[in-house]
Amino acid sequence: MLFPTFTFAIFFFVVYAGHVLLRANPEAWKIGMVIASFVFYGWWDWRFCALIAASIVGNAAAANLVRRAKTGRSLVVGAAVAVNLAVLAIFKYYGFFVESLNGLLPDRDLPLIEILLPVGISFFTFQALSYVIDVHRGDVEPAPITDVAVYLSFFPQLVAGPIVRASEFLPQLRQPLSDRVPAGEAVWLIGRGLFKKVVVATYLAESVVDPVFDSPDAASSGESILAMYAYAIQIYADFSGYTDIAIGVALLLGFRFPQNFDNPYRSFSIQDFWRRWHMTLSRWLRDYLYIPLGGNRGSSFATYRNLFLTMLLGGLWHGASWTFVAWGAIHGLALAVERLWRDLRGRSRPTRLTTALTPVRWFATFHVVCVAWILFRAESFELAWSLMGRLVAGDWNTGRTPLVDNAVLPMLVIFGALLVQFRPDDLADRTRALVNRVAPSIQGVAFGAWVSLVAALGPEGVAPFIYFQF
């Protein structure tokens, strides 16, 4: 079930009506919300529901056992982590591992079994891991199984994030559900997210990205460069658009999720980029992978290694392919190089030269990100290398039939999307505050008109969100 569809609109209308009727009875509301979330998740395939149900029961039991155990807590946590990762590995990485081993061992032919990938398995697995680990650390108390069920299955962020910590969600679940919600802010976020996904992301995908990435050898250098920039904007508009809708829907149900994007393409370093892009994943990798690896507590070399390994595994989290591993390696190497440069420079004060080089830093950061996105989007190294080769081939007029019919409009969309990244930081807050001051009836009419505009500008049908595959 996709957000920007008539089916979801009907689903949410029913869910919201049930939310209003049941919010005075917390336990009934929780049961109703779990049922609704399972309907939402099972819309793709009902078999997925058994997996998330097992995750709820297993991790709730593990958290309770961790807190009650007088000895061996670390063993219980280790077992819970191992089981969660094993389930993730079977469903998401089995084929990848088998194909890789068969490539390394040509004399062996390990059986390859086609396993259906459950939507969003990486997201709810990471949330389950953080819950058990946080209970072990004493950051949260074990919650009743109904609370854990709502936390792990809550439909707004179930299939593509943001990755919400138990310490961020469970305290809200224990508070009475208010009949007063920031509807203006929610409407603003949902409307913005719909425009990003349906209009911007879908348009760039259909007009530039898909034609060029599907046939890179037939693309001119200009089309390849345009496709690289277009994909950078597409994946941002697609993923941040989903996040906006998810946060807005959750707000209407009385829950506030953490921010997940903060104008990432205005970053002046790769470290700054990861403080702005998929922020909930960045913090998860920092707290549950980078710091346990040693963080920056050891030698400088150990810090560089930990940065590289964290991003390498972060790349593998995104997909079962060596292209994702290479994508993570590029970011890990860039983070290590930036850290090395800071260590060599020490804590010297900014000079006029470093200030003057700020645009160069932005340009370099943006293009490292854009080139790495090619590996993220390409289905194989062969296609990625082919497109990268076209970038520098200098072949501006191939004489072939162009893959992009009209490059002017995509260029304007890309430029406009980048320009928006540099808007004043408080502009979005001021806009939300302005919407909140408008009467609810006018908000409803304006939202209906906006949805109609989005539907008119968008193409027929809506492609699944990119991050559903993760």
Residue positions annotated with a catalytic role: 318
Do 277 and 270 contact (CB within 8 A), yes or no? no
Distances (CA, A) of 186 to 44, 190, 315, 393: 26, 6, 32, 47
Instruction: Say what angle helices 47-68 and 26-42 make with each other, to 10 degrees.
Output: 140
CA 68 – CA 52 distance, rounded (Å):
24
Do 188 and 432 contact (CB within 8 A), yes or no? yes
3-state secondary structure of 189: helix
Angle (nearest 5°) at CA 103 between 100 and 104 = 90
CA 174 – CA 202 distance, rounded (Å):
39
Report helix, strand and coil shares of the chain as percent, to nearest 5: 75, 0, 25
End-to-end CA distance of the chain: 16
Side-chain half-sphere exposure of 250, counting CA atoms within 13 A: 25
CA 466 – CA 470 distance, rounded (Å):
8
Q: Does a cis peptide bond (omega within 30 degrees of 0) precede residue 162?
A: yes
Side-chain half-sphere exposure of 359, counting CA atoms within 13 A: 1
Exposed/middle/buried for residue 100 (C-beta within 10 Å: 0-12, 13-18, 19+): middle
Exposed/middle/buried for residue 10 (C-beta within 10 Å: 0-12, 13-18, 19+): exposed
Q: Which residues contact residue 331 at a Cβ distance below 8 angstroms, ignoring those fewer than 6 apart?
A: 270, 274, 311, 314, 315, 372
Exposed/middle/buried for residue 223 (C-beta within 10 Å: 0-12, 13-18, 19+): buried
Nearest to 200 by CA among 349, 26, 2, 4: 4
CA 294 – CA 90 distance, rounded (Å):
28
